[in-house]
Amino acid sequence: MTAEGSLPAVSLILGGARSGKSRFAEQLICSMPPPLFYVATAEPRDLEMAERIERHKMRRGPDWQTLEVPLDLNETLKRLDKAGAVILVDCLTLWLANLMAAGCDIGKSLGSLCGTLSEVQGHIVLVSNEVGQGIIPDNELARQFSDFAGHMHQDIAAVAQLVVMVIAGLPLTLKSSKEK
């Protein structure tokens, strides 16, 4: 799956917190030729998140070019995407939370992202937290987030050629197709 040309145009890697999804996504593309673009959506708003971000950076190594993109994901992907480009986005649920906090039009943002993904020239691997497998949240904002995340995953999975769920560090392929 990691040889040049065998990585699909769009891959979606899902999993819970600390499931191993980011590490799996990195391993999926680490043998691709550089440059490797890492589009990070997290913002270090507290010490724990800053440490988490630093651990991710240290694990990646020098072949990765990191771009911090809390909101403008679609425009960044359009700018980076070209034949042979390898882009990892980590993670969509943090991007979604950033959009919600900024008061953005979620439907428009997700629609634009799916439009961009349907025209990918290179390779884009998207990492996201599966948040909808627990209890229904007890507050409106958390329910909205869960609903948006579920719709986002369904829409992106429909466009992606590869969809993998990572549980306890083990990948479970949900969809695998070479076709766009």
Q: pTM of the prediction? A: 0.91
In angstroms, how far apart are the furthest CA atoms of the chain? 46
Instruction: Please state at what angle helix 92-101 crosses helix 140-159, rounded to 10 degrees.
Output: 130
Catalytic annotation, residues: 56
Strands 36-40 and 64-68: parallel
| Paired tokens of 52 | 């988490």
Q: Would you write out the chain's pLDDT as a tens digit for each of its 180 residues?
A: 444 448 999 999 999 988 999 999 999 998 898 889 999 998 878 888 888 878 877 777 778 899 999 999 999 999 999 999 999 999 999 999 999 999 999 999 999 999 999 999 999 999 999 998 888 888 999 999 999 999 999 999 999 999 999 999 999 999 998 654
Domains along the chain? 10-174 (3.40.50.300)
Q: Is the dihedral of CA 69, 74, 80, 81 positive or negative?
A: positive
Counted residue by residue, the chain has a size of 180
